[in-house]
Amino acid sequence: MLMFIIMNSKLYDMPKLRQKIGVFRDRRHAGQVLADMLHEWSSGKAIILAVPSGGLPVAVEVAGALKLPLDVAVVSKILLPWTTEAGFGAVGFDGSVWINQQYVDHYSLDQPTIKQQTQAALNKVQRRVKLFRGDRPWPDLQNRPVIVVDDGIAAGSTLRVAIRALRNSGAVEIIVAVPTAHEDSLVQIMNGVDALYCANIRSGSQFAVAAAYQHWDDVDETDADRMLTSFQNRLLVQEKNKRVMRR
């Protein structure tokens, strides 16, 4: 069994993986490592909420191993206008918006640019909510632990907004679980959650989530949606078989 320790009352990590790169073969392997860390939640009342798209391959492994239901918490970075990667904030599925004022000041972003980029992120979130969730009712979050899974945390803006949106949606107990993260971002997120699991904690001025993985590629949202649908269909079949056996 993989061993980990509690760095403080909320944060769990794996000491042998600290500051290392290339520790996961791919997102699937990362999910298996996380599932071992989260074994105490197995077959309980918790629900896994993946942050799409990159978080879904990780979350599928976690939910499958722990025998827990899987859904999504859609969030998006508010991108800087000259890049498709770096952002200066994030928006959540409930319309929550968080702006990193330090980045706004650093890049001298004016209000029209902020408004335009924020609206673009909101449009993306609305489209993805429709893609991933359709007309399905939102699950009851008040009476169960919510485990939010992503493939890693760099600046932490999307996780920060996801946590806010989930609180607004009634979540009482929120656990964040990620394979890798920057130490500073974990500290910023920690006060907003009940527990935080991160196998590979790193620090330093140069950080990339992808560096924790031997094989890394972008997850197409169509493939992510297919993963989610496949998992949920398998779960429905299992529940149906259980009901048949109980008769």
Please list, in sequence order, all residues whose beta carbon lies within 8 angstroms of the beta carbon of residue 140, skipping any fewer than 6 positions away: 170
Tell me which of 3.90.550.60, 3.40.50.2020, 3.10.129.10, 3.40.50.300 is the CATH number of domain 5-74+138-246. 3.40.50.2020
**Mean per-residue pLDDT of the chain:** 90
**pLDDT for the residue numbered 4:** 47
The fraction of the chain above a pLDDT of 70, given in percent, is: 92
Q: Which two tokens stand for residue 127?
A: 């489209």
Beta-carbon count within 10 A of 194 CB:
14
**pLDDT for the residue numbered 5:** 46
Q: Is the pLDDT of residue 203 over 60?
A: yes
Alpha-helical (H) ranges within the chain are 27-37, 55-66, 101-106, 111-133, 157-168, 183-190, 221-246
Instruction: Tell me the whole-structure pTM to 2 decimals.
Output: 0.90
The fraction of the chain above a pLDDT of 90, given in percent, is: 70
Could you tell me the pLDDT band of residue 246, with boundaries at 50, 70 and 90? low
**pLDDT for the residue numbered 83:** 78
Question: Amino acid identity of 115?
Answer: K
What is the DSSP-derived secondary structure letter of residue 24? B
Interatomic CA distance for residues 164 and 161, integer angstroms: 5
Pairing of strands 97-99, 145-149: unpaired
**pLDDT for the residue numbered 2:** 42
Interatomic CA distance for residues 40 and 19, integer angstroms: 26
**pLDDT for the residue numbered 82:** 87
Q: Is the pLDDT of residue 152 over 50?
A: yes
Could you tell me the pLDDT band of residue 1, with boundaries at 50, 70 and 90? very low
79-137 confidence digits (pLDDT tens): 998 877 788 899 999 999 999 898 899 889 899 999 999 999 999 999 999 999 988 88
DSSP string, 151-186: S-BSS-HHHHHHHHHHHHTT--EEEEEEEEEEHHHH
Q: Is the pLDDT of residue 6 over 60?
A: no
221-246 and 55-66 helices, crossing angle to 10°? 10
Domain ranges of the chain: 5-74+138-246
Among 73, 101, 58, 31, smallest CA distance to 158 is for: 73
24-53 confidence digits (pLDDT tens): 999 999 999 999 999 999 988 999 999 999
